[in-house]
Structure 1
Amino acid sequence: MSRTMLAGRINFTTRTFAVQEVPVPDPGPGEVRVRVRAAGVCLSDVHLVDGRLRPMLLQGDEVTLGHEVAGEVDLLGEGVTGTGPGARVIVGAGKRIGDAVWTMGVDYDGGWAEYVVAPAEVLVPIPDTLPFEQAAIIPDAVSTPWGAVEWTGQVKAGEAVGVWGVGGLGAHGVQLLRFVGAAPVVAVDPVAAARERALEFGADLALDPGDPDFAARIAAVTGGAGLDAALDFAGVAPVRNQALEALRAGGRLVLVGISGGPLTVESDGRFSYGRKQILGHYGSEPRHVVDLVRLNALGRLDFSRSVSGALPLEDAAEAVERLESKQGNPIRLVLIP
């Protein structure tokens, strides 16, 4: 086998991204090398390329991007049991070192490459019925909103919930809220095509945030009470202010989108009087990926609409540009090494 491979790498010192030849990594004790078959392109990857996000734990100034990865086990490191070459797997998007959780494709090399090395314990087996392209996006694109709905947001059946931003994460947020029985599900997005998609994914109502009757329509659909919960997948201040206003007394706002800027509340008096809550959310727990694979296998969740396009790894820069410019209003793009 060739000892080099293609990988999409970013240098945080020079602020440059390129697909280049690098050595094929070898697994250490307890690790597995996976032949990547598909890797998702996330808005977080775009923000790493444009400088809005920076790694906190990366050793050095370069990393291979990609935290949404599926493929086949290629080589086992020393001491690894329970899997073998050819096994179809999702590669979990992080690993724990001491008390810190490191993110793949951010703090250590990820899956925008022909091969990736990961701890054996983060691999999640997938059935033959789940295509690699759909499996790859489960960690993050699906598991992050699932964690926000099921874990941080503690959404219960019958609760009225709003979703701000119906992109790669928000579209799945709508689908997952419908799955757990939230009612009504209200989607909010300035893009008409995104609102249409939200209705296709199970929203009961899709609103333009600039609608002059926005507050009245929220009141009408919730019987005047307001939303029990709001999920912010956009990560911008106007969204957060609007979502807080739409909450009922005691309602909760879950922050999933990251702006990189300060978090402010327009009126702390009104916020406190309404006993509202703001909850931060990041990523997901390993069990969420396992849950989603099982729910898909049982036919409860369908990810076939989630992949908006596939590009060869060599065209990673084009994929970043297409996602950044929202060309074609994609849910998720995937790279195929």
Structure 2
Amino acid sequence: MSEEQGYFETPPAPGKIVVIGGGTGQSVLLCGLRRYPLDLTAIITVADDGGSSGTLRDYLRMVPPGDIRNVLAVLSNASQDFLDLFQYRFSNDAGFLAHHTIGNLMIAALAEKNGDISEAIQKLSTMMGVQGHVYPVVNEPLNLIARFKDGTVLRGEAEITAAHKAIDSIWVENTAGNSPLADSDVINAILGADVVVLGPGSLYTSILPNISVPNVAAALRVTQAKIVYISNIMTQKGETDDFSDSDHVKVINRQLGEQAIDAVIMNTGKVPEDYIDWQRWNEISHQVKSDPDEVRKLGAVPIMGDLMDLRDDGVFHDANKLADLLYQIEEDARNNG
């Protein structure tokens, strides 16, 4: 309707993108996406058991707060002074506070005060002016369990990552040894999305722990959203050595029980030889092999481009390039059904 008629047209609702993952890749991607008029939801792994997050998890029997903290920070409209304090990490000689961040301690305090991690995150989101929705995949800490190709089994994300061994299968349990379930907020976000994004991040420790939750996997199988996987640029030592883009997709589809991935964002840029400081980034092995024809055979559309951000003697995804691609995918999904 026109302004002359005395009222305005209702603006269209923003597109809905759900990002499922963990680690730095998820928060970096969300930082790029927040530039767009989108309704963003982050669903975050709770299997981390290392560092400050692992210590608070063990002592307070709470979900690990580190990845949640980073996502809250990148989606927050709080002042930079507050965010600098929120992300401040105590030094090595700070006694029992060593290595802890202020943000992790705030999340722990609110969780204890409210008796519920989800309510704590929502209150902190309001306090920080967070642009979007932030949910742990489940409201209790999860144990990540891996069976390796050599038949051995390890429990715990930190130990699995440190083993640098080829993984055969992976699953999650709660502390009682039972199969966990996600809350309705998580499931409804997946079912109501235009686009669901998996990654970027470690295949076995950032992505699979989330989709190993049974009702999350079920929601991904039935959602009408376009499911997009952001393939890693580099393989992870021991775990995904010699993996191609399609190898990553096969693992995800196997975990979900069907060919659920609709599109794969794949890097075509070549990592310069002798650029990476292999000692500093000792968890990576070499560049992921690009095989778009094999990706197509899995029922997914390859979306290709030079997506690299070369910095700090390492190679990362360029958050703005990823966000540009995902915004276009979201618009296409809404316009074309």
TM-score by length of 2: 0.29
Q: Which has the higher helix share?
A: 2
